[in-house]
Amino acid sequence: MSKPKKTPEQKYYEKLEQKYETKRPILKNCIKAFIVGGLICIVGQAISLFYIYFFNFSEQTVGNPTVATMVFISMILTGIGVYDRIGQFAGAGSAVPVTGFGNAVISASIEHRTEGFVLGVGGNMFKLAGSVILFGVFSAFVIALIKTTLMKLGVI
């Protein structure tokens, strides 16, 4: 299947677009995302160690309270406007960790708060969170099904 030929107008527009398009500093953006994402992970590790040493969690059980704390911190930072500035600076470095999930949930709530607590905040808060939870649970089910099947067959 061949590509359709471009009209002279399309070719002219492409040249014009390339002339005025802002060049993105890809390497610089990747470094910023890497550093900020790493710092978020360091904070998460510090919280994990805090729970292990002061609340006697084990390495196997510390994950859930750590994730909950990280999401809570990101929600607080979003509410006071700090996380948005971090996101502007770091891009994916702040969106990919679990803190990005907390930011997305609370941002939708803040944006629709004028519509009321039930329809505005409550209804819009779970537009993103609902799909994340649904696909997370479904993915966990499929993986558990595969693992159980492989165990029954003696593969693992």
- With b for 16 or more beta-carbon neighbours within 10 A and e for fewer, the 21-47 pattern comes to eeeeeeeeeeebbeebbeebeebbeeb
Inside any domain, residue 69: yes
What is the distance between the alpha carbons of residues 138 and 121, in angstroms, rounded to a whole number? 26
Q: What local confidence, expressed as pLDDT, does residue 139 receive?
A: 94
Tokens of 58: 């084990």
Inside any domain, residue 7: no
User: What tens-digit pLDDT sequence spans the chain (156 residues)?
Assistant: 677 888 999 888 888 888 888 888 999 999 999 999 999 999 999 999 999 999 999 999 999 999 999 999 999 999 999 999 999 999 988 887 788 888 888 888 888 778 887 777 777 777 777 777 888 899 999 999 999 999 999 998
Inside any domain, residue 145: no
Cβ contact 92:31 at 8 Å: no
Number of domains in the chain: 1
Give the 3-state secondary structure of 27-96. Answer: HHHHHHHHHHHHHHHHHHHHHHHHHHHHHCCCCCCCHHHHHHHHHHHHHHHHHCCHHHHHHHHHCHHHHC
Structural domain including 55 reads 27-111
Inside any domain, residue 5: no
Q: What local confidence, expressed as pLDDT, does residue 144 receive?
A: 96
Inside any domain, residue 129: no
Inside any domain, residue 49: yes
114 DSSP 8-state letter = G
Tokens of 64: 């859930």
Q: What local confidence, expressed as pLDDT, does residue 109 receive?
A: 82
Inside any domain, residue 4: no
Q: What local confidence, expressed as pLDDT, does residue 135 receive?
A: 87
Q: What local confidence, expressed as pLDDT, does residue 149 receive?
A: 96
Rg of the chain, C-alpha, whole Å: 22
Q: What local confidence, expressed as pLDDT, does residue 1 receive?
A: 61
Inside any domain, residue 130: no
Cβ contact 87:72 at 8 Å: no
Give the predicted TM-score (pTM) of the model. 0.71
